[in-house]
């Protein structure tokens, strides 16, 4: 069989096998709870190679990352062909790539989801990498929502426990951590400036941040969490990426895999990255929604990734949002 014909045959076999596996049970006696990412990688790789491909090809796992509450997104390369799939976090179901149920695109609050666990004052935790373009994208979207809700929510900016964008990201993470810790009221004004300009020095000055206090906190946190020590000594790296352990415990608690990850009332939540859908998702977490949830008129345009202003076209319905993550 010629190479091109063989490739097409194997690709067809792969796709057919994956589609046939939509309702296949492959859990290993797990009752309740979620499979850890490490165990999930082993389970899904073994399942695809032994149950689906049966030696006709070999699947190489490229990435497994959270796709929101209840799902892992799994990226394989099989016979040189990239394949995106999903598995449930309880380790019981494997799915092919999500197929849009409409050819139209979603916009604004259409991309909001409902938070199951309610509270009088929702706790909103956003995990990012300060230089991840998709982390900066959702930050631009969430700031107006958080500002509209004010003290009705407990908002915290937190950081993924590894950095993918070099030493500058480690330093900026520390700055933002310290601004939030000691000069909380300055955080959102600083972020608004920084997300437009990527100019920390200018934004510290223009927002009235106490530079000396921030620098003192940065030095202390750097030492406490061994940020520079682990970076320069290449200790405990995640492959090619240095650790950032300031929020390590929370990353492990919530199963954070990459930037951005939105956690509301202790569970990962899904929303578009525009202000309207983020507000709607956060508002769904209230026991009793405040009036601002229905009266606020926020933009349903998704901010452009990275620094600067502007917007981007909404994602196709059912298409998972991009993020920064490693295996």
Tokens of 168: 């500058």
Q: What stretches of 47-166 show up as alpha helix (H) in DSSP?
A: 133-149
- The secondary structure of the chain in percent helix, strand, coil, rounded to multiples of 5, reads 45, 20, 40
Q: CA of 265: how far to CAs of 70, 177, 187, 204, in Å?
A: 16, 21, 21, 31
Q: Which residue has the tokens 């040189």?
A: 80
Instruction: Tell me the CATH architecture of domain 108-314+321-325.
Output: 3-Layer(aba) Sandwich (3.40)
Q: Which tokens is 137 given?
A: 């994208």
Return the higher-pLDDT residue of 179 and 317: 179
- Match 């223009």 to its residue by tokens: 206
Q: Which CATH number fits domain 3-95: 2.40.128, 3.10.600, 3.10.310, 1.10.287?
A: 3.10.600
Residue with token string 């993924």: 160
Question: Which tens digits make up the pLDDT trace of 152-162?
Answer: 999 999 999 99
Q: What is the pLDDT of residue 16?
A: 52
For 195-250, the pLDDT digits (tens) are: 999 999 999 999 999 999 999 999 999 999 999 999 999 999 999 999 999 999 99
Reduce the DSSP state of residue 235 to 3 states and report it.
coil
pLDDT digits (tens, 9 = 90+) for 98-111: 544 444 444 444 55
- Delimit the domains of the chain by residue range: 3-95, 108-314+321-325
Pairing relation of β-strands 258-259 and 261-264?
unpaired
pTM given for the model: 0.68
Contact between 131 and 271 under an 8 Å Cβ cutoff? The reply is no
């Amino acid at each position: 069989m010629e190479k091109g014909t063989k490739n097409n045959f194997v690709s067809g076999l792969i796709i057919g096998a994956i589609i046939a596996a939509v309702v296949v049970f492959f859990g290993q006696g797990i009752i309740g709870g979620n499979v850890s990412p490490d165990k999930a990688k082993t389970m899904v790789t073994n399942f695809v190679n032994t149950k689906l491909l049966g030696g006709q090809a070999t699947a190489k796992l490229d990435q497994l990352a959270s796709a929101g509450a209840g799902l892992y997104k799994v990226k394989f390369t099989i016979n040189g062909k990239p394949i995106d799939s999903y598995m449930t976090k309880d380790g019981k179901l494997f799915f092919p790539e999500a197929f849009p149920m409409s050819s139209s695109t979603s916009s604004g609050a259409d991309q909001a989801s409902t938070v199951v666990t309610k509270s009088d004052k929702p706790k909103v935790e956003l995990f990012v990498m300060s230089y991840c373009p998709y982390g900066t994208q959702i930050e631009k979207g969430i700031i107006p929502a958080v500002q509209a809700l004010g003290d009705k929510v407990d908002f915290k900016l937190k950081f993924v426990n590894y950095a993918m964008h070099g030493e500058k990201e480690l330093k900026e993470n520390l700055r933002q951590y310290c601004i939030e810790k000691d000069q909380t009221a300055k955080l959102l004004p600083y972020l608004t400036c920084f997300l437009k300009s990527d100019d920390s020095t200018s934004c510290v000055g223009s927002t009235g941040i106490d530079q000396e206090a921030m620098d003192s906190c940065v030095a202390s946190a750097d030492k406490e969490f061994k940020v520079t020590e682990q970076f320069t000594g290449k200790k405990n790296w995640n492959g090619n990426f240095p650790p950032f352990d300031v929020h390590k415990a929370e990353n492990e608690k919530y199963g954070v895999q990459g930037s951005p990850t939105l956690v509301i009332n202790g569970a990962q939540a899904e929303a578009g990255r525009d202000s309207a859908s983020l507000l709607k998702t956060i508002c769904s977490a209230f026991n009793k929604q405040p009036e601002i949830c229905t009266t606020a008129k926020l933009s349903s345009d998704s901010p452009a990734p990275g620094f600067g202003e502007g917007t981007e076209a909404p994602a196709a319905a059912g298409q998972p949002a991009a993020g920064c993550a490693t295996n």
